[in-house]
Amino acid sequence: MSNKKQIRVGLIGTGLMGRIHTNGYKRLADFFPEYEYVPVLQACCSRREANAKAFAERWGYASYETDWRRIIERDDIDAVDICTPNDTHAEIAIAAAKAGKMILCEKPLARTVAEAEGMLKAVEEAGVKNTVWYNYRRIPAVTLAKNIVASGKLGKIFHYRANFLQDWTINPDLPQGGDALWRLDVDAAGSGVTGDLLAHCVDTAMWINGGIKDVSAVTETFVKERVHQGTGQKQAVGIDDACIFHCHFDNGSLGLFEATRYARGHKALYTLEINGEHASIRWDLHDMNRLEYFDHSDEGKVRGWRSIHITDGDHPYMNRWWIPGTSIGYEHSFIHQVADFFYSLQSGEPCHPTFRDAFETQKVCEAVLDSARDRAWKDTGVEWVEKV
């Protein structure tokens, strides 16, 4: 391990994503031992010192900061990992790019296309390595779905369908804003389920099925006012509680997407289904180690949806883990993303989704919100370049 090249990471934001990214860094060398680069937990950052200190101690960061600008200024940081609320992504990322740091940014890239465009310009001008944490691509079943489609097994695609259903904000007494609930505060989050949940679905969708051309959407805010934890006042809720849109993909298939936080009984039910001429694929996050696959070329009498337990050595990433039949979890998608990022350092290839890919996803999200506001179809302007 001594002759590995070290990448010193500065992590900004110590919430759920801060923890799970850190777990990813810490497990890389154990499970991808031959990779040439290795992360070093150099510094973490939280506005509150007690927080920053405790996080550093618990997870083993060598130091901590309370101002993210310090992370960027420090010469002993090679890569900046942005895990803060959405309203801070642009400023931090642009500063980090100017300072020549590699950037791993939480999704969605930004609140708006305009913000995202500035970030994209910054990293491309600076020529720094960049990636966005759309982690679901790296769940082995999802990666396999991508590979199956890319192999041509489905033939022409007719339908792509995804939804992301949750139920955690039904209680109208839940406040908005603050550390834990900034996702309900439109200023911090930019949008509700569109940026938080649909952005994931859109990233996966375009990765597998190519660009989304135009969209027609509806959004709804079921709870109109919530107490804001910052002001202590009841304030209008600015986010979308639910969003549905249909769309055309560049390849002529129809898309259908829905996300909500008001689907009682679903905790984090991200599902996707793809229907092609010859075959179809289904997946859902609650049973993330399974992929369902229907192949019309199977003999008629015994043709049916296959439930594939994605735990074999020849399934994506699974040669890194245990034995057939034994599951991995949610956190592994982040470990895989860490691994792919570090591998990209030695291969010289981009680590998708890059800021450019995420910028295209941002266009879709913004077109969706515009469409819902104007009750009209919107062109997205997406130019999808990543290989489908």
Query: Smaller CB distance to a copy of itself: residue 198 or 242?
Result: 242
Q: How far is the CB of 195 from a copy of itself (least distance, A)?
A: 17
Beta-strand relationship, 212-220 and 378-379? antiparallel
Helix (H) or strand (E) holding 54: helix 49-59
Q: Are 155 and 170 in contact (CB under 8 A)?
A: no
Cβ-count burial 17-31 (b if 16+ within 10 Å, e if not):
bbbbbbebbebbbee
Per DSSP (E only), the strands in 200-241 are: 212-220, 225-227, 234-236
Query: Smaller CB distance to a copy of itself: residue 163 or 354?
Result: 163
Query: Smaller CB distance to a copy of itself: residue 2 or 231?
Result: 2
Q: How far is the CB of 255 from a copy of itself (least distance, A)?
A: 9
Q: How far is the CB of 48 from a copy of itself (least distance, A)?
A: 18
Helix (H) or strand (E) holding 90: helix 89-98
| Other CB atoms within 10 A of residue 117 CB | 17
Cβ-count burial 169-184 (b if 16+ within 10 Å, e if not):
beeeeebbbeeebbbb
Query: Smaller CB distance to a copy of itself: residue 49 or 374?
Result: 374
**Rounded distance, CA 96 to CA 119, Å?**
10
Query: Smaller CB distance to a copy of itself: residue 182 or 245?
Result: 245
Please report, as a single letter, which amino acid is at residue 86.
Answer: N
Query: Smaller CB distance to a copy of itself: residue 48 or 322?
Result: 322
Q: How far is the CB of 202 from a copy of itself (least distance, A)?
A: 16
Q: How far is the CB of 4 from a copy of itself (least distance, A)?
A: 11
Query: Smaller CB distance to a copy of itself: residue 62 or 114?
Result: 62
Q: Tokens representing 76?
A: 């002993």
Q: How far is the CB of 31 from a copy of itself (least distance, A)?
A: 9
**Rounded distance, CA 236 to CA 176, Å?**
10
Q: How far is the CB of 28 from a copy of itself (least distance, A)?
A: 12
Specify the DSSP class assigned to residue 32.
Answer: S
